[in-house]
Amino acid sequence: MKLEVSHQAAALWAKKRSEEGHQYWLPLIAHLIDTQNVINFLFNNWLSPRQKRILIDSSSEEFTQKLVKFVGFVHDIGKSTPAFQIKKSYDGDTLLDDEMKAQLSRVGFLKFDEASLSSANKSQHARAGEAIVENFKVPESIGAIIGGHHGKPETDGQVSQLKHYTANYWQSDNDSAVQTPWQRVQRELFDYGLASSGYQSVTEIPDIKQPQAVILEGLLIMADWLASSEYLDQDKTKPLFPLIDVDQTWQDLKMKTRFKDAMITWQLDGEWIPQRVSLDGSKDPYEQRWGFKAHLFQAAMTKAIVEATDPGIAIVEAPMGLGKTEIALVAAEQMAYASGCDGIFMGLPTQATTNAMFKRVNDWLEAVAKRQHENFAIRLMHGKAQFNPTYQGLPNATNIYDNDTKDGSGSVVTNDWFSGKKSILTKFTVGTIDNLLLMGLKQKHLFLRHLGFSGKVVIIDEVHAYDAYMNQYLYKAIEWLGAYHIPIVILSATLPKEKREALLEAYLKGKYGLQYKKQLKAPDDWQETQAYPLLSLLDGCEIKQVKPASGQKPVKVQVENLNVPDDELIAKVVGQLEHGGVAGIIVNTVKRAQQLAQLVPADMPSMVLHSAFLATDRSDQEAELQAAIGKDGTRPEKLIVIGTQVLEQSLDIDFDVLYTDIAPMDLVLQRIGRLHRHSLSRPKALQQPKVYLMGIQNTDDYGAGNEAVYGKYLLMKTAHFMPETITLPTDISPLVQKVYDEQSDTEIAGIEPARLKFEADLKKEKTKAKKFQINNPKLKPGKTIHGWLDRDFGPAGRDEQKANAAVRDIKETLEVILVKRTTEGDFLLNGHNLTVTSAKDIAKQVVRLPLTITPGPKQIDQVIDILEDLTSKAFPAWQDNVWLKGALALPLDQNCSTVLMGWRLSYSAALGLQIEKEGEHDE
């Protein structure tokens, strides 16, 4: 049955613009049909089976598809109002505005060419759409989706809008003749939406649960954005849903052909069809994928995961350097197969660890792509992804098809449509943990993030690295993943048992609600076990624990406390390397790393790695470090590596001897995991693994810097329980549990004040974290998304920095581009003249200013004002460049130095950005 569209409905516009003297528009009916077609396509062809099950819930696929199509069509019904149709063009083309008004007048909208509304802005079109559909008796849980499709739902239902702002909807408050055309066309479009979706009556539209509503909202936003994309490329050679000439009508559009051609152009990625991991006979999945036979504990853990009928969360605790990443990737394949997911997210603590992991995941995905003969898109998700050489070297999905280079063997590609807020929709993603934590933060367009995660197996590496504040967001994200029944793999070498329990309980609450304890089956000692290695696996509502032997030969590490001046420390390290070797020095602050590096003799090879380097320099240093002392590196005869916490996480590097500032026990053990990590021939003097623990000045003094970073309580416990000899891996779990178990406090004299402060700080962090968190998932029907993002503090300006600061409890800092200004011109710090350097390369020269310079919003605003003024005068062309718009330049003098806010800043490729109070060392 062909549905008819009246002249009045066909005359309404959805979009209009002028460009180079030409006028364009898109009829509203065309955009509604486009979006309905797109969301239906995404439901059938883009959503994973897991996501479809979330939407279907206890209904049927056919019934759910009707709802999806209906929401897609009516999402912009709020544009069929005078409040929208009276809107002016963004480009100020009054002739186009007058033509649109005249068009409506010609088809019977009375007096519209002279219409004037005093409060049109009170009924913006998403809100108006919700009011209209709720007036037509659509359930509130669905109406809220219409009202929230621009990223943030309303606080409550909007049907009262029609009473309070009647003229916004029907042009007049009381003239029925003027009102009638609007009422008729809104009813016509609503009925068209019902009929085209397969509904006979509005009573067939269901009430849905909150998790369903969140995912449907995300899908609607994605569909609307795609249906609003005129072209796939900036050169406008690949049309998707372009506007039409102002003298054309919607009848000139061949809607089915338009939609079909757009989807062929847009859909560039293949669909991952996970296969069941086989353990039959001689099929070792590790040997098939990486060329080595599985360790005994890898095989035991993989077997348990493969045999799970409803895998939920798998927590893998195992020693450093024994292949947890491989366990996770094999588990992800099996869990994706079992759950109906079609992608993965791998989350790590820092950009450095993310970069190190990206190549490993990329290599795995390359093999998967080749096995399936498909192209799979991947996304590296952190603020400096453009500096990662592996990521930058990947082909663009468009180019693979354009150049006819697809040979059927399968490739890993990038897809530019999935950028910005759409990045997480990429099926395979590797990123900093912030991307996952942000699932719990009230922020506009949060629905897209939930949509992206609801189809992926989630892998969380180095889970011990997150502090109390971040953990609150982590538990919130896991609870929502549980509500979506998304499998999670969690990796750690040093996990406190309390955190293990909290992770499992968060998932159980999300999946089964607060009554999960009535269904839970678990071993009696599951909360207390110190078995190691250990797999804690949630299969349905049953916790299973696998306790295989590591198969690792015990290694004894000697521990010696060292409390000497810095010059003596460096002298000792240099002396130890007299006959060769690689020494690692891991400290807790950037300033201390820089101070130690300056004491290293010029003839001793050294490297420094911390967060205060230009992004390009840091990327180069990470690559250089891996090439030198990574698993397959070309090991130097001598080398001192000095760094901060970035050295303790996920970097597969190997030291012959280790010096470390005191830190909580789990983190010290992580650092020790970089000591004698690989089977190597070592200098005779360094064949016994040894770690020197620095900073313990007496029983309750660990240095102001160390205590500022970690607090006194955990440092006291670590110092007390640290033995003179650690046997790896046997001692790892018992040592970690000792430090984090409050029962052991009784063994330490004088710890009470530190414990009370620790508990007060912990309570404060938990309270603070809740301030901008979304609520727990509501699993009963009828709980809408109204108010879901209320108290949104809004991503104004520096979006990513603000959001990441919010989930990490860090104060916002600024990134600046360092430029050297001399009498001969402006240069990058690598010597390249700005006049012959691409904007993209200039944009890479960023470094984050230390918090000391901008400790609060007032100082941030002052620095922004200073640098904006300076940048606009020195580099006015930056504002017109896509790479440099909004960037702040910090010019340095001939000696790579400057003064800002009373601080002297200087930069060198060897030490990074250094600061000191101006005049502090003047003679």
* 175's tokens: 């003239």
- Whether residue 882 is predicted with pLDDT greater than 90 in this model: the reply is no
Task: Write out pLDDT tens, residues 431-449.
Answer: 999 999 999 999 999 999 9
pLDDT band at 389 (very low <50, low <70, confident <90, very high): confident
- Whether residue 792 is predicted with pLDDT greater than 60 in this model: the reply is no
Q: What is the pLDDT of residue 799?
A: 53
- pTM score, two decimals? 0.91
- Whether residue 66 is predicted with pLDDT greater than 60 in this model: the reply is yes
**Which domains occur in the chain, in start order?**
7-224 (1.10.3210.30), 312-349+433-549+751-781 (3.40.50), 353-420 (no CATH), 555-748 (3.40.50.300), 811-917 (no CATH)
- Among 663, 674, 679, smallest CA distance to 582 is for 674
Instruction: Report CA Rg, the chain.
Output: 30
- Whether residue 405 is predicted with pLDDT greater than 50 in this model: the reply is no
3-state secondary structure of 488: strand
pLDDT band at 356 (very low <50, low <70, confident <90, very high): confident
Residue 140 to residue 498: CA distance in whole angstroms: 40
Q: Judge contact between 812 and 804, C-beta under 8 A.
A: no
Q: Judge contact between 854 and 814, C-beta under 8 A.
A: yes
Q: Which residues of 41-66 are buried (b: 16+ CB within 10 A; e: fewer)?
A: bbbeebbbebbbbbbbeeeeeeebbb
**Which 3-state string (H, E, C) describes 756-811?**
HHHHHHHHHHHHHHHCCECCCCCCCCCCCCCCCCCCCCCCCCCHHHHHHHHHHCCC
Task: Write out pLDDT tens, residues 518-567.
Answer: 999 999 989 999 999 999 999 999 999 999 988 788 999 999 999 999 99
**DSSP states along 80-129:** SSHHHHTPPPTT--HHHHHHHHHHHHHTT-TTGGG---TTGGGG-HHHHH
User: What is the mean predicted confidence (pLDDT) over 894-898?
Assistant: 93
If one counts every other C-beta atom within 10 angstroms of the C-beta of residue 35, the result is: 27
* 539's tokens: 């299969």
Task: Write out pLDDT tens, residues 221-268.
Answer: 999 999 999 999 888 899 999 999 999 999 999 999 999 999 999 998
Least confident segment among 38-47, 131-140, 275-284, 600-609: 275-284
CA dihedral 657, 463, 382, 901 (to 10 degrees): -70
Q: What is the pLDDT of residue 781?
A: 77
The overall average pLDDT reported for the chain is 91
Q: What is the pLDDT of residue 861?
A: 85
- Whether residue 798 is predicted with pLDDT greater than 50 in this model: the reply is no
* 325's tokens: 């990443």
- Among 569, 549, 333, smallest CA distance to 457 is for 333
Q: Judge contact between 497 and 742, C-beta under 8 A.
A: no
